[in-house]
Amino acid sequence: MSTTTVPQDVSTDTPGDDGEDGEMVKLNVKVPKRLLEELDELSEELNYTSRSEFIREVLRDTTEPILTPGAQEGVSQGYADVAAGRTASHEEMKERFGLDDE
């Protein structure tokens, strides 16, 4: 993967953040030309220092949990509440409490 030099300031490289032993390895991937163009456009718009930086960040985002365990539990509980009928719509709550849009 070659990189395009763009004068930008976002870097996602941090010591110890690139694997258990800190060793970087090269990954060669073939993608359609249009996808590569889109990746380059996005990385430039988001001010990444290189294409590689951007792709590393995307890979991290897809492999690391986005929500904390507590947040994941809260989301699961919310789905359970919906399934059990323990929720109400905005309109139902307005009606229940005698509120209008004023």
Task: Collapse the DSSP code of 44 into the 3-class scheme (helix H, G, I; strand E, B; otherwise coil) and give the result.
Answer: helix
Q: What is the pTM of this model?
A: 0.46
Q: Where are the domains of the chain?
A: 1-64, 68-102
Rounded Cα distance, 93 and 101, in Å: 12
For 30-82, the pLDDT digits (tens) are 999 999 999 999 999 999 999 999 999 998 888 877 788 888 899 999 999 99
